[in-house]
Each structure stands twice: as C-alpha cells, then as structure tokens.
Structure 1
Amino acid sequence: MTDRAVDGVPEKRLLLPPERPLLAPGIICSHFSVHGDANLSFLAWQERMDPVYDLRPSSAKDEDGFAASLCRYSIGNLSFFDIHTSPNVAERSLGRVSTESVCDLSFSLFLDGTPAHMKGYEHWLDTHRPSAPSILVQDLGQPCTVRSFHGRMLIFFVPRALVEEVFPDAASLHGRRVEATTPLTRMLVAHLVTLNQQIVGLSKDEADSAFRTGIQLLATAFSQQAGLCGNARAAVRAAVYGQVRRYVEAHLHDPDLSPERVLQQLHLSRASVYSLFAHEGGLAAYIRSRRLRAAASDLVRFPHLAVKDIAFGLGFNNASSFTRAFRRAYDMAPQDLHAYAASLGR
C-alpha cells in the first residue's frame, strides 16, 4: 500500500521524531548525564569531572541522590559547557595545580539557581539569588574550592594568552565576579547565551569568531570592574597596575621587598596603589600571595632543596612563620607538598 502524504511528506515520515540538527564540521559536541542513587550517579559525575576537578558532595544529605548533565562544545582549543547540576563541591588542590600544566581560565555564567561561591573569596552561607545573572572567574593554575548549588551554568574555558591580550594580569582575576547590571555586562551575557543557543546554525569560523568576541567582552567587563579601562584615568591606573605587578615579580626573592619599598622605588602614593590591589586585600597581601605561590612552585620544581631554604629565598624570616602562612593559604603544609613532589619523581 502506498503511504499517504501531507504537503509532500510521507505519513510514516511525519510520525518519526525530528532529526537532531547537525553541527558544522569542526565543531565537536558531547553529552553526559547522571541521576538517581548517588552511589552510582555521583561517582560517575566525579569520574567525568576528574580531568579538571576533584568533586565531593556538599553535605551528607546530598549523598542520597544526585542529578547532573552537561553538553560540551569544542571549537579548536576553545570549549564551553552547558551544565545542570545538583549541589556539590569542586576542588583544585595545591598539589594538583602544582603538578599539572593546566593554566586556562574558566568563566562561569550562572543562569538559574543560586550562583556558586568560591571559598576564601565569598561566604559559604551567603546563598542569596541575585536579580541578574553573574559570572565568576577561576584561574585553573591556582588552587580553589567552589561550592555549587542546584542550578544551570555556562562555563567557558579560555586560554590564558587570549585573556591577557585585554587583561594583562589574568591571575588576578581569580575569584572575581561581575553581575549583569551594566549595559556592557548585559550585552556580554546576551552574547554568551546566544552563542549557546545558536551554535547549531553556525559554521566553525562563525562559532570561533563568536567565542573570541565573547572572550574580549569578558576581559573588558572585568577590566572595567577593576577600573583599568574606559577613559584616560583608567589608562593611568592600568599603567600603574602593570608597573607595580612587574616590580613585584622581579623582586620576589628580594628579602627587602615590601609595600613601602615598592612605593618608594616607583614614586607612587599608598592610597592609589591600595585601591588597585583591593581585591587581593592590599599590596602587602598581594606580595605575600605571590611569594607563597612562587614557593609552591619551587617546592615542586626543586624537591632536593630544604623547605627552609626555599622559604628564606622568598623573603620569609623563619620556617615556622612560612609554614603557618602556607597552611592558611593552601590547607596543607609545605613539607607535605615537598614530599608529594619528591614521590612523583621516583
């Protein structure tokens, strides 16, 4: 018997589910989802996230059930995820980041639910839902612990070099957040959401161009938040910021490095410099943070050196004060990282 047709389409064909739209060549997509008993679903999600994060339940009650899904799009060395998740805690430990070569930045755009919080930058118990979407930055080359709640997010993984074309010190973006409350940030959010919604209809070149435009908007939005772009005054701030940062990096191993020495050598006022480094807690906190990060790198790179020698070489007066500062910053003793690095070399 001949199939009847409607508008030229066979009736049998009308009863079939619509075919999934195909992505253009060069755009790769993958899907993954879990739900149900956490003994299975959470373990499967942990395994899927393991290349980037170590995951654990955010509380004991979350262990009863867990649901999450992701859709990943990759265009060359650029990728982003559309993620729905139940509450969890994601961590990149000092030991992990010190022995990996991952140095991308991730920009998490929270669309539904309570935005995730980064430990050390925001209060764990502050679970309010803002009136506008927000974007949180993580430098994957630095330790971090992030608590996520029920919700949906888009996560964009961006090579550091692309960010630093606009924002010269990408590492200082770690833990920063912007909300879509200005014309620029609202346009940014709309652009990223549209990229996710319309990527199926884009060619590889169009998708790559749209992603790179999003990167420029992201870097510009955070530069504007930091007061490093937008007018002549911002240009001066950006120049001073770069000058101070370069001086600190060049003198990390100088025992006399201090905020006072920086201000004296560069002929800068304390108030102007403090405002530039307010996100880090001031210039003294920034110097201490950079020294501790350099120490973590040296502990991994030079397992034959004594911990106290590394500490003294980075301006710490004694080993015990260095150990206390290191443990406060990274939740582990420098001796433990040193031993871990030495074990990897065996």
Structure 2
Amino acid sequence: MNDDSHHTAIPLSRLLSPPESPTLSPGIVHSNFSVQGNARQSFLAWQERMSPVYDIQPSSNQAEDTFAASLSRYTIDNLSLFDFRTGPNLAVRSLGRVSTESVRDISFSVFLEGQPSQFLGGKPRLDAPHIPQVPSILALDMDQPCTIQSFHGRLLLLFVPRALVERSFPDAASLHGRWVRATTPVTRILIDHLVALKRQIVGLSKVDAHQSFLTAVELLAAAFSRQAGLSGDGRAAVRAAVYGQVRRYVEANLHDPDLTPDSVLASLHLSRASVYRLFEHDGGLAAYIRSRRLRMAADELVRFPHMEVQDIASGLGFNDASSFTRAFRRAFDIAPRELHEYAPLLQRKHATQERFT
C-alpha cells in the first residue's frame, strides 16, 4: 500500500500514467494511491482512503482472497479528475453524511473497462437495472444519498462544482442517477477528450489543462442535456427554461402546505402536458415534490435536533405522522425519529468532511 510513491502495486501503464512520477506544471496537484494483496488489509486501507466522501463496504458476494484498487488524481483549483481501478465493493453516501457535510459537487463516472457500477439509489437493493458493458457515464449529486455497487473495472471520475454544472444544466440535482451510453458522437468525443487529457496533462500548462477540464464539463452537460430533451433546438431551450422555472418554484415553496402539482401549474401558468415529460425521470411532478419535501425533512431532522419530529414534518406538508414515517423509511431506509436521535452524533462525525482530494 502506498500513496504518492514511485511504485504502485498495479502497473501505472494500466492506468494510462507515465512510468515515473510525472512532473506537472505549477498549480496542478497529483497523487497516486494503490492497494493490493490480503483482502482484509487492502480493503481496510481502501476504506480509509475513500472515507472523505464514501463509506466503503464489502460487496455481498465478495469472496476473493485478495483485493486490489488504485487511483491517480489530478486537481486544478476545484476540479478533480481521477483514474480508478476498482475491485468489488459498495460505496455508500448515507442520509446522515449528506445532511451534515459540505460536499455538494456533481460527479461524472466514465466507465471504460469491465462491468459498469450499478446505481442502487439511496439504499442497497436487489433490483438494480442491468447496464450493458459499453462505455457509459453515470452522474451523481454528492448532496443526495446513494449506494454504488462496483465490480472489477476501470473508470475516469470527474468532480465538478455544482455551480459550474448549473451554468449549462438547469438543475444539477436532477442529474442524480442518470446514465448516458457512449453511443452518440458527443459522448464518444467526450470520452476521447477525457482519455487524452489524462494522457497529456503532464505536458500541459495549468491554463491549458484547466481549459481542457472546462471543455469536458461542457461536453458532459451537453450529453446529459440532450438525453433529458433539454437541448437541440428552440423548443428544447423553452423546455429547459420551464424545467428550471418549475424546480425553482417548488424549492422556494416546500414549506407551503398548499404546494401541489396543480398549484405549481396555476401559479406559473403552465399546462400539464408541457410539464409532464420534464419530470418523467422523477416519477412525475407530484413524486418530485414529495421527494424534495422528504429530503428537506431529512436535512431539518439533522440540523434541528431540538425540534419535534412532527413539527418538522407538518411544516413540510406531512400532517399524518404515520404516513410521513412510512414515506420517509421507504425513501431512506431509516425512521425519521431514528435519524433525529442520531443528529448530534452525525454532526460531530461529518461536519468537518472536505471535498474528496
């Protein structure tokens, strides 16, 4: 096991890295980390390295005697590109983590080799959709709970500040759990661009490397905007504007007991048909409103440990305690009262977590 050394357990050539520690332009930060060998010791070291952002757990079917994983990181200011080799594991961002820490980046995982990871939503489950073994891109909002099941493979991972993503995509939160397959010219250009950036960053100035990062972000936003039907022509621009308008309105009125899909449509003078497709990924506008209220409730249960659970629930339109508890448990696999009781411990544990570096 090592960090920032000249020798790693997995050959750096397999990671598209130079055979020796690279000499980079000032302002570009680089590090390596790798583990290989005894499954228990290697896995514990990997857990510790990943702990700033994910709680790493063994995969349910993990029965191998050895565990190997590695990362190579390049960071410029607030943008980071990682080249990962992964072994089987579960990476978990719990509700407690996202409700207490300050990591709000959007991550984009570009799966290049092996079986792509499976996005299991906010908690582990057995019915995750099968993702074909072709280059694929998964977007995740670090401000939302998730569980990711990884297999043997290789991926490039880009961490991007939320504000930078939202320059091109109306609401970064809606990217959470979205997949794009590398079957279009834009996505193929994007993957070629990221692989080239990884290969060539040693010879780039900070200015050129930073611009290459920004180009990758623009290509990612274009790919996901196209998939969501928010780009491509004048009508798509209108849809994108409506999409942002509705989400901003919902967010500003989560504590309004009269907030419903009908009230949103009436207040914004929109037709039901014009809004339906925009929120299809979320299960519809009603499901989106309910999801955002539950997420806000989770934040407030952690932030305000001295408030009564039912006061928080009713303030977000949940007037029936049992219905709120059932909906909350279905969404987050924990009862609201349990999360509320854990709040002081969660705040002490995660309040000092930083961005993943």
Alignment TM-score, normalising by the size of structure 2: 0.88
Q: 1:123 to 1:230 in 2, by over 3 A?
A: farther
Contact 1:111 1:151 in 2 (8 A): yes
1:326, CA displacement in angstroms?
Answer: 0.9
In the alignment, which residue of structure 2 is the partner of 1:222? 224
Q: 1:54 to 1:194 in 2, by over 3 A?
A: same
- Taking every aligned residue pair, what percent have the same amino acid on both sides? 68
Q: Which has the greater radius of gyration?
A: 1
Structure 1 Cα separation of the partners of residues 260 and 19 of structure 2 = 65
Q: 1:205 to 1:314 in 2, by over 3 A?
A: same
Contact 1:80 1:154 in 2 (8 A): yes
In the alignment, which residue of structure 1 is the partner of 2:242? 240
- Give the residue type in structure 1 aligned to 2:85: H
In the alignment, which residue of structure 2 is the partner of 1:101? 102
In the alignment, which residue of structure 1 is the partner of 2:121? 120
SS of 2:186's equivalent in the other structure is helix
Q: 1:18 to 1:247 in 2, by over 3 A?
A: closer
SS of 1:208's equivalent in the other structure is helix
SS of 2:52's equivalent in the other structure is coil
Residue 129 (structure 1) aligned to one of 104, 129, 132: 132
Contact 1:85 1:152 in 2 (8 A): yes
1:149, CA displacement in angstroms?
Answer: 0.9
In the alignment, which residue of structure 2 is the partner of 1:5? none
- Give the residue type in structure 2 aligned to 1:158: V
1:143, CA displacement in angstroms?
Answer: 0.5
Contact 2:120 2:128 in 1 (8 A): no
Query: 1:9-53: CA deviations, max 9, x gaps?
Result: xxxxxxxx9765422222111111111211100011001100010
1:123, CA displacement in angstroms?
Answer: 6.7
Give matches, 1:256-295, under 5 Å.
Answer: 256-295=258-297
SS of 1:82's equivalent in the other structure is strand
The unaligned stretches of length 5 or more in structure 1 are 1-16
The unaligned stretches of length 5 or more in structure 2 are 1-17, 349-357
Q: 1:193 to 1:293 in 2, by over 3 A?
A: same
Residue 193 (structure 1) aligned to one of 192, 195, 204: 195
1:109, CA displacement in angstroms?
Answer: 0.2
Contact 2:118 2:131 in 1 (8 A): no
1:128, CA displacement in angstroms?
Answer: 4.9
Contact 1:117 1:124 in 2 (8 A): no
Contact 1:39 1:63 in 2 (8 A): no
Q: Which moved more, 1:115-124 or 1:195-204?
A: 115-124
Q: CA RMSD in A?
A: 1.9
In the alignment, which residue of structure 2 is the partner of 1:313? 315
SS of 2:202's equivalent in the other structure is helix
Greater length-normalized contact order (CA 8 Å, ≥ 6 residues apart): 2
SS of 1:109's equivalent in the other structure is strand
- Give the residue type in structure 1 aligned to 2:140: Q
- Asked if 1:176 corresponds to 2:178, the answer is yes
SS of 1:255's equivalent in the other structure is coil
SS of 1:102's equivalent in the other structure is coil
- Give the residue type in structure 2 aligned to 1:294: M
SS of 2:62's equivalent in the other structure is helix
1:65, CA displacement in angstroms?
Answer: 2.1
Q: Which moved more, 1:118-127 or 1:96-105?
A: 118-127
- Give the residue type in structure 2 aligned to 1:135: I
Structure 2 Cα separation of the partners of residues 233 and 61 of structure 1 = 48
Query: 1:131-173: CA deviations, max 9, x gaps?
Result: x311101111110000111100000010111001111211111
In the alignment, which residue of structure 2 is the partner of 1:7? none
SS of 1:61's equivalent in the other structure is coil
Structure 1 Cα separation of the partners of residues 128 and 242 of structure 2 = 36
1:129, CA displacement in angstroms?
Answer: 3.2
Structure 1 Cα separation of the partners of residues 334 and 100 of structure 2 = 15
In the alignment, which residue of structure 1 is the partner of 2:46? 45
Alignment TM-score, normalising by the size of structure 1: 0.90
Structure 1 Cα separation of the partners of residues 87 and 51 of structure 2 = 17
Q: Which moved more, 1:248-257 or 1:281-290?
A: 248-257
SS of 1:175's equivalent in the other structure is coil
In the alignment, which residue of structure 1 is the partner of 2:331? 329
Structure 2 Cα separation of the partners of residues 239 and 87 of structure 1 = 41
Contact 1:252 1:291 in 2 (8 A): yes
